[in-house]
Amino acid sequence: MQKQSLPHHDLLSWVRALACVLLMLLSPLHAKAETNDPCATSPYDHLIMVGDSLAQGILSGIGPDHRRCMKIIDLTQVSDGLLNTSPEEWVKRILGVLPRDHTKRAAVYMLIGTNDIIAMRKNRKILRPGSDEWDDAYREKLTRLMDGLGKLPAEVHWIELPITDRDRKTTMMHNRVRAMQEEAAR
């Protein structure tokens, strides 16, 4: 049998094809070597948790691997919300812990408003939950909060847990507050 030689352009095509296959095969190995460090895929350098005791519960569930990869900042306070702390004070607290180095990626996770189903004071008047005056005052607080959060150099994520109250009136008030929060976040 006579040995055939490949034309030069066929040999060059074959070498290019082999090089492409090798690159495709070796690229995942290289990528895998780069991502063996779990921190390499962490989306943030700083995670700031804001809210009440429910936010504290979520914060406590962040595992050691994630804690090693980012700075976790706890701005939670039991039984707090927009009725106990002003929107401006929440924004001020967050600004106080944001990284000064703006190349650091920061995220704010908020779970706030769970306790905001009680009477509030405005101009020395007590506003009853569910009343039009209460709704207007709460919407105004939400607007001020959203305005302040929108100016922060960080991603802001407002999270909620499912409502689990058995009391119909409480559940209705939670639904009402959540609807106002969603409206303000748009």
Highest mean pLDDT among 76-80, 113-117, 121-125: 121-125
Residue with tokens 């074959």: 14
- Distance between alpha carbon 19 and the CA centroid of its chain, in Å? 43
pLDDT bucket at 66, cuts 50 / 70 / 90? confident
Count of beta carbons in the 10 Å neighbourhood of residue 181: 21
In the numeric block, which tokens belong to residue 93? 């607290």
Domain 38-185 = CATH 3.40.50.1110: yes
- Collapse the DSSP code of 69 into the 3-class scheme (helix H, G, I; strand E, B; otherwise coil) and give the result: helix
CB atoms < 10 A from the CB of 102, how many?
10
pTM: 0.72
Please give the pLDDT value at position 65: 78
pLDDT digits (tens, 9 = 90+) for 116-169: 889 999 999 999 998 999 999 999 999 999 999 999 999 999 888 777 767 888
Does 53 score more than 90 pLDDT? no
Could you identify the residue written with the tokens 């066929």?
10
